[in-house]
Amino acid sequence: MTSRLPSLSKFTAPSLVLVCLLLANACASAPTRPPVSIGSGQARVDPVTGQPLAPDAIIAEETTQGSVRGDGGLTPPFMVGKDVKRAAVLLPFSHPAANVRAEAEAMLAGIELALFENGGTDFLILPKDTGGRASTAEARADEAVKEGADIILGPLFGTEVTPVKDAVNRDQIPVIAFSNDRLVAGGGGYLASVMPEEEVVRIMGYAASRGTRTFAFLGPDTAYGRQVETAMRAEAAKNGWSVIGAGFYDPSSSASSEVSRVASLIKSERSQVGLLIPERGTKLLSIAPLLVVNGIDPGRTRFLGTSLWDDAAIWREPALAGALYSAVDPDNMTTFKDTYKRIYGRAPTDLAAAAYDAAALAITLASENNMKHGGVTDPDGFMGVNGLFRFRLDGTSERGLAIKEIRQSGASMVEKGVTRFPPGGS
């Protein structure tokens, strides 16, 4: 991690308008057969913005009520005559929900950090407030086109992605969005979030390589739970593995009846079963011991999870001993987390890390004069704080996730994420 770090200050209130003109130039090397490193480190904080490290870095604030806007196409005097590249950042800074506004500010902080760490004087970001509304996001995308944006970072919600893509497609501007809804991917839009489907593929593949080829599902009856269960069935069908059943419970009530039913299915199986449980926190801590009470033999059933399990609060539960889950490779993330916390005073969110990577990718492509769809979908991929990733032509992302095992001492990595993709794309 570079030691070149910005001095940061906080706004006095979330309602202040942020109009940032932040500059950076990529320091990563040009593409080679190994993936391009796009950051110097390894995805809900109070509003923050950076103070300049050098006279070239400009930050301005306005107090117009209720919006965060770009610079209206302004080119700072010291940029005149340079080949300036612009990235519009479309996030819901004025969303009605406080936690969403905080997430947007955390993501902007991640983008700022990527810009400052990669230094320079020919890259400009244009933050724009979508409010979380599709119509507003479309209008902001139209503005970004008029202001000369070369790439769009955002929006956050799936409902905003298609209108933004439609607004910029005629100009062939790539959209790197942060939704995890694969239905809105493609058509010029790429999803930078770590997709649940990628986590499912990784954990099932690892389990199968260790002899577990029969699977079951137990999870919440939510959009996320259904997304994970669908991915599990698709991956099993693709590889000829078995799925013996699934149990969905109301996330607001006890899961005991579904736990009992799924336990009965597993106990009737002769082969080892991998039980995928995409749950978190106290709910997971109630489900895991209940499975054991219902007669699940940990020696014949391997509990499997997603990145929701990357939480020290659950690791001491005895029923989860030996359980496996997929997550971002910690080797790539540690430095980013430490730096972000030192600068901003709080831990980064998962989406702050995704935003960092998206900004670092844009900076890298700008340095190569390749802020185009072909640059975004480089089959060799990129190495960011979330590890190795590349965008498929359908707009989804492929990632080099790690596998962790829960042990008495905590979660230990048992298999690192890959550091190079096979040739030819995916």
Backbone angles phi, psi at 406, to 5 degrees: -80, 125
pTM above 0.85, yes or no: no
Q: How confident is the model at residue 121 (pLDDT cuts 50, 70, 90)?
A: confident
- Could you tell me which residue, 6 or 378, shows the higher pLDDT? 378
Least trusted range by pLDDT, from 4-18, 98-112, 410-424: 4-18
Token pair listed for 199:
């986590």
The backbone region for 267, taken as left when phi is positive above 0, alpha when psi lies in -120 to 50, beta otherwise, is alpha
Read off the pLDDT of residues 244-296 as tens digits, 9 standing for 90 and up.
999 999 999 999 999 999 999 999 999 999 999 999 999 999 999 999 999 99
SS3 sequence of 209-241: HCCCCEEEEEEECCHHHHHHHHHHHHHHHHHCC
Token pair listed for 426:
């995916």
What is the dihedral sign for C-alpha 28, 30, 34, 35? Answer: positive
Can you say how many angstroms the Cα of residue 107 is from the centroid of all Cα atoms in its chain? 10
Query: Average pLDDT, stretch 88-108?
Result: 97
Q: Looking at residue 426, what is its pLDDT?
A: 54
Strand order in the sheet with 123-129: 123-129, 85-91, 151-153, 175-177, 189-191
Strand order in the sheet with 410-415: 242-249, 214-220, 273-276, 301-305, 324-327, 402-407, 410-415
Question: In 10 A of CB 281, how many CB atoms?
Answer: 12
CA atoms within 13 A on the CB side of 152: 39
Q: Looking at residue 21, what is its pLDDT?
A: 36
pLDDT at 169 over 70: yes
- Distances from the Cα of 121 to the Cα of 68, 115, 124, 145, angstroms: 23, 10, 8, 21
DSSP line for 118-186 = H--SSEEEEEEE-TT-HHHHHHHHHHHHHTT-SEEE--SSHHHHHHHHHHHGGGT--EEE----GGG-B
Residue 422 DSSP code = P
Distance CA 23, CA 13 (A): 24
pLDDT at 106 over 90: yes
pLDDT at 65 over 60: no
Read off the pLDDT of residues 347-404 as tens digits, 9 standing for 90 and up.
999 999 999 999 999 999 999 999 999 999 999 999 999 999 999 999 999 999 999 9
Per the DSSP assignment, residues forming a β-bridge with 189 are 175, 186
**Residues 283/302, Cβ–Cβ less than 8 Å:** no
Read off the pLDDT of residues 323-361 as tens digits, 9 standing for 90 and up.
999 999 887 788 999 999 999 999 999 999 999 999 999
Q: Looking at residue 235, what is its pLDDT?
A: 98
**Residues 207/325, Cβ–Cβ less than 8 Å:** no
